[in-house]
Structure 1
Amino acid sequence: MRLPVLRSGVRWKIAIAITAVGALTAAALSLVVRNAAQVSMLDNAREVQMERVRTAQRYFEPPANQPARTQARLNDPALPKELQQLMKEKRRGTYVEDSGGTPRIWAAVPLSNGDVLSLQTGISPSSRTILKDLDRALIIGSVSVVVGGGALGVLIGGQLSRRLRKAASAASQVAEGQTDVRVRDAIGGMVRDETDELARAIDALTDALNARIEAERRVTADIAHELRTPVTGLLTAAELLPPGRPSELVRDRAQAMRTLVEDVLEVARLDSASERAELQEIALGEFVTRRIAALNPDVPVHVVHESWVSTDPRRLERILLNLLTNAAKYGKPPVEVTVEGRVVRVRDHGPGFPEALLREGPSRFRTGASDRAGTGHGLGLTIAAGQARVLGARLTFRNVEAGPPPSPEEGAVVADGAIAVLWLPEHAPTNTGSFPMLPLDDGVRDKE
């Protein structure tokens, strides 16, 4: 069982931490100050009380034996036991008695005749007022410290959180293919902290990956370009062979190699992000119907409603060709094409796309299998996805679920065909003459 995940921002974590520390510090200091003030006040009251009882002692000690003019009492039965013990030892002393939350100060001295003279008073009203004022001041100070600490935590945490969000946004743009974005420039600021170190590390990683990808792309393009001439010569030479089965096999393999070389070159051009669409206004339904009839007359086209779009007809035709070829090679008939507004759907009734393609999107240089059982696809869908990005469109993939498996041992839901959906954009062209290019991973799965 998975435990619930509590999500909170860095800003609030820092604010809560500073507020908690401030609250604990304020509470501890308040208790210390309050206790110290009360102890000092009680010590002073005990000294005063002792002076008063010693003054009263002169009226009771012989030979004076004058009438008492003080509040002192002889042999008070309410004398605390602690003072009674001191009196037995012939020692004078003071004692603070807590009676119902109000402390009372006792002072007692032993007389020469064996009697005990004692005096008791409570805390003076002025002292109680001072303690109340001190409590009020400590409470106000503690609340101010907590509120100020919380505000400071929000300010500091907000600044750090804002920098981290900018770094995450810039990193996401890099992941989407905008290789010119730099995380360090995105976060900005004059302060240098760990966020800047993280940004520099991401930028260095981006530069290294870009350099490696560019090197691999150039190697692939150079190899394909160097192969084009000998493959063309091989295909020409194969045409000169005498008729026969061996000659047909040679020509077939030579043509397959030439197609592979052209596809590799096209993939390299798409990876370079230098391709631009030559836009034209076309009626999408009429265009798809006409092109599908030329590519494969057996595939029916259903136009739900017509829509005019601004796109590149050559690239759109290339996408349709690759989708139809993929459906015919890996799916099962009937293959159906539906045009609804700016959306074109190509469906077959085969075993569906493999989970790896639905999860990760098309992958280049992977050969397909007639049963789509997990060996993947070749360059066809990769080129189609790349051409869709040049058009500013999205190419998504999903399977049609036929229902649950006959038995639990047979696995997950059975697929009843694969659907490739091309979503043409509604936005106006950019200044470069092309729609904004979308990243490869954006919308490779159809969630509808």
Structure 2
Amino acid sequence: MRRGSLRSRLTLLVTIAVAVAIAVCAGLSWLIVERQLISQLDQTIMEPEGPGDQRWLKEHCTPQGTSDFFGYATLLYADGSTCSLGPPIVVTEPDKRLTTDRAEPVYRDGRTTGGRAVRVVTVNFEPGVAVMEARPLYHVQRTMRNLAIALGAVAALGVLGAAWAGMAVSRAALAPVGRLTKAVEHIAQTEDLDIRIPVEGTDEIARLGSSFNAMTAALAGSRDRQQQLVADAGHELRTPLTTLRTNIDLLLRSEQTGRRLDPGAKERLLVNVKAQFAELSTLVGDLLQLARGDTDHEPHVELALHDVVTAAVGRARLRGAEVTTDLQPWYVVGNAASLERAVLNLIDNAAKFGPGQVEVALRGGVLTVRDQGPGIPEEDLPHVFERFWRSSSARGLPGSGLGLAIVAQAVAEAGGDARLANAPGGGVIATIKLPGTLTSRS
């Protein structure tokens, strides 16, 4: 069976809840009124005044009952015989026990021998005799029947009102959800991530709208970054590809025309081609790293940052860098491969731009990498972590301009912060701060 809409289900639930509440209240009201009427009737049965007095009853009753008495009164003897005024009351076992037992009076619903419903009270009159007096239940039953009809009508009106109220409540409560649904459908059809939902208040629906707006903003930002990355990559790839095509065309033309190139020139062309391929390989690798960082979110685990730095220093030394270290233990939560790549990029940068040794230190969760180079112009410092950005002094050196962007991305994923500044006394100092502890938690 197909489920209805959320609005219809909410309306149905509100209607059912109100209907049940009304039914319970009506039932309790009916029972309370009935109990009150019966209690009032019980209080009038055993009044000692008037023809119901027990001694007067004993003098005028007959075994078959009388027809000239409009009440109901019966004397019950221990041997089971009765003497009644009015129609005799049907005797029960609790009534018989009161002929010999001076216990509390017994109040019950009963009948006369003619079949009329009555309210009966039985008390011990004297040793061996109990008296039963009764009042007809006709007026009580009629009142309760009329009350049941009135309560049923009120309950029906209440259910109809609850259904209307449920529709109004569901329409008002689900209006923001309807706007959210339309926004999602619009995005699915148009891929327009710039749409925003108006948010009012601080309730759960408002929080849902805020979360949706934050999600679309994040998706729009991711899409913009991807588009910018593609545009920047296309721009950066154009130069080495053009150079490669030119050099290869020159080599092919010399072979096809039979005009052999000078061996020295040919060697220089081949070296240039090899260098361009190496540059392309580095650029593609860096692009893949950035792309994975934007889309892949591997689970982070606790790791020893000092061990990660040690591994990066070892790889840098294999590449010919001179590195000195001063590492203290520090445990962080992150991705070991990404952080190792970030540290290696910083060391490679320091070795490339600064002669002499690279100083790497890790103290109190702060990692510093310092070179002995000429430093970076102050106006260039705000741009050092931008993708494909290279300072004027570095454009003649090998590299793709993505190394520091990879550093910033890896550190941000681990919840840290990366900075670059000119060090006192010369050179550049790169600083990475990562939250963590001095001892492992595992």
Q: What TM-score results when the alignment is normalised by the length of structure 1? A: 0.46
Structure showing greater radius of gyration is 2
Q: What TM-score results when the alignment is normalised by the length of structure 2? A: 0.47
